[in-house]
Structure formats: C-alpha cells, structure tokens
Amino acid sequence: MNHDQNFKNLILDYPRAALEFFAGEVAVAIPIEARITPVRQEQLQNRLGEHFR
C-alpha cells in the first residue's frame, strides 16, 4: 500500500478530524452528533481493467 492510500485511509477512518484539519471553519458548523459518510469518487483498483490503469 502506498502513502497516498494510507493518507486516504486516515481521512476515511477519522473524517471529523480531517475536516477540522483541512476545513476548520466548515467543521465547527457541523453538529457533533452528525454522521459523516464519505462518498468514494474513484473505482477500486481491483475492479479496474488494465485498460484504465
């Protein structure tokens, strides 16, 4: 696993902390009880054919 994937995994594992770090003004407006659900915008590597790599 490369550094880029490790970084993405940290954001997925700690979404509120990532929001606080990258967009502090936005994070304070989100209620603490709100559920943060990440949406993936990319295909998983094992689902891509060689044509798309």
Dihedral sign (CA 17, 23, 24, 28): negative
Q: Which amino acid type is present at position 18?
A: A
Predicted pLDDT at 46: 64
Burial (0-12, 13-18, 19+ Cβ within 10 Å), 20: middle
Q: What's the rounded Cα separation, in Å, for the pair 17 and 27?
A: 9
Predicted pLDDT at 28: 94
Residues of the chain with pLDDT under 50: 53
Predicted pLDDT at 16: 95
What is this structure's pTM?
0.64
